[in-house]
């Protein structure tokens, strides 16, 4: 919990880092009575001593500060230090006046705002996930998320990306625009059940048993199976070969061989309800006869 409320602002400040002989004119992204975040492309080390010059309606204000966190290429978070009573009163008046400007004169404090570094970090995670074709990782959701939960997450991320666009450093403006554009594309895909299913199957998010349980009937499962067949025709042909091997094995009364071949077929045709039922029957017979399964045999997920 922050001790002092923080307000988003776009006021300019002069920044002087100890040991450097230049002053940098930059933009202040947000400020409270105890600290501020300043946009900077410079590499400013943690714990560096900094002097901040702010122009206020009551005159120029010189403040000592220390770098408490830094995001390379984005900016630095500064903690105000060595505040005399006069300076403390001056910064108090400045922040209170800023709050009034942001509220349009209303007698209330501004609500919490997303920090620019949080927005940048979320965008970086999103872009990395998108480039890796991991859309769920990009938006911070599980592949098994319900449509309702996924929609909530996408909406929340959209609001984050749209927050404080003017507070972003120049180097991130173009990437932020790109991230917002890509998020709209990702949202359109993941909110469409048909397109989301295609994406899931193509990227290994099969969860066959779960999808079958939630499908609501054999016809719905058959629709998913048809989509699988269009996506993986070669795997389906291999499944047919393994299924034929299973039938030949059962005709030879080779229950173990039939189960092994049947399970291999189910791996490549996971939404085949008829095959699943046959394998369950064979497994039941094997359990009754206590037929040991070959090492490495496994159930299809």
For residue 60, the SS3 value is strand
Bridge partners (DSSP) of residue 13 are 26, 54
Q: What CA–CA distance (Å, rounded) separates 89 from 60?
A: 14
pTM value surpassing 0.75: no
* Ordered structural domains, the chain, with CATH: 7-103 (2.40.10.220), 116-192 (1.10.287), 206-301 (no CATH)
Average pLDDT over residues 71-97: 70
Average pLDDT over residues 88-107: 53
Q: Identify the residue whose tokens are 């189960």.
A: 259
Question: By CB neighbour count within 10 A (0-12 exposed, 13-18 middle, 19+ buried), where does 5 fall?
Answer: middle
| Out of 12-26, 31-45, 65-79, 184-198, least confident range | 12-26
More confident residue, 295 or 154: 154
Q: What CA–CA distance (Å, rounded) separates 27 from 12?
A: 4
pLDDT for position 51: 79
Q: What CA–CA distance (Å, rounded) separates 289 from 184?
A: 57
For residue 262, the SS3 value is helix
For residue 265, the SS3 value is helix
More confident residue, 128 or 291: 128
Averaged pLDDT score across all residues of the chain: 77
Q: Using pLDDT thresholds of 50, 70 and 90, give the confidence band for residue 162.
A: confident
For residue 206, the SS3 value is coil
Q: Using pLDDT thresholds of 50, 70 and 90, give the confidence band for residue 18.
A: low
4 backbone dihedrals φ, ψ, rounded to 5°: -120, 145
Q: What CA–CA distance (Å, rounded) separates 155 from 55?
A: 38
| Out of 52-61, 81-90, 177-186, least confident range | 52-61
For residue 299, the SS3 value is coil
| Out of 98-102, 126-130, 242-246, 292-296, least confident range | 98-102
Q: In this prediction, what percent of the chain has a pLDDT beyond 90?
A: 45
| Out of 31-40, 213-222, 274-283, least confident range | 31-40
pLDDT in tens, 187-228: 999 999 999 999 999 999 999 999 999 998 999 999 999 999
Q: What CA–CA distance (Å, rounded) separates 81 from 26?
A: 20
CA distance to 17, 114, 205, 224, 285, per residue, from 217 (Å): 68, 45, 21, 11, 27
């Amino acid at each position: 919990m922050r001790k002092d409320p923080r307000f988003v602002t776009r006021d300019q400040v002069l920044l002087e880092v100890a040991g450097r002989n230049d002053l940098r004119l930059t933009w202040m992204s947000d400020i409270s009575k105890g600290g501020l975040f300043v946009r900077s492309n410079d590499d400013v080390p943690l714990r560096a001593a900094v002097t901040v010059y702010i122009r206020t309606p009551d005159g120029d204000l010189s403040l000592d500060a220390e770098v408490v966190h830094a995001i390379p290429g984005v900016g630095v978070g500064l903690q105000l230090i060595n505040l005399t009573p006069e300076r403390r009163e001056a910064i108090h008046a400045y922040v209170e006046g800023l709050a009034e400007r942001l509220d349009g004169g209303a007698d209330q404090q501004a609500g919490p705002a997303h920090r620019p570094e949080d927005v940048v970090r979320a965008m970086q995670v999103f872009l990395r996930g998108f480039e890796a074709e991991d859309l769920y990782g990009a938006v911070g959701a599980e592949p098994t998320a319900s449509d309702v939960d996924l929609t909530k997450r996408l909406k929340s991320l959209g609001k984050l990306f749209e927050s404080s666009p003017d507070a972003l450093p120049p180097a991130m403006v173009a990437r932020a625009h790109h991230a917002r554009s890509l998020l709209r594309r990702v949202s359109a895909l993941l909110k469409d059940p048909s397109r989301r299913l295609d994406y899931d199957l193509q990227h290994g998010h099969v969860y066959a048993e779960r999808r079958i349980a939630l499908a609501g009937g054999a016809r719905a499962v058959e629709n998913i199976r048809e989509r699988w067949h269009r996506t993986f025709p070669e795997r389906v042909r291999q499944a047919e070969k393994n299924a034929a091997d299973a039938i030949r094995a059962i005709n030879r009364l080779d229950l173990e061989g039939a189960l092994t071949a049947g399970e291999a077929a189910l791996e490549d045709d996971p939404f085949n309800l008829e095959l699943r039922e046959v394998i369950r029957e064979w497994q039941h017979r094997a359990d009754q006869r206590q037929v040991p399964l070959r090492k490495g045999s496994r159930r299809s997920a």
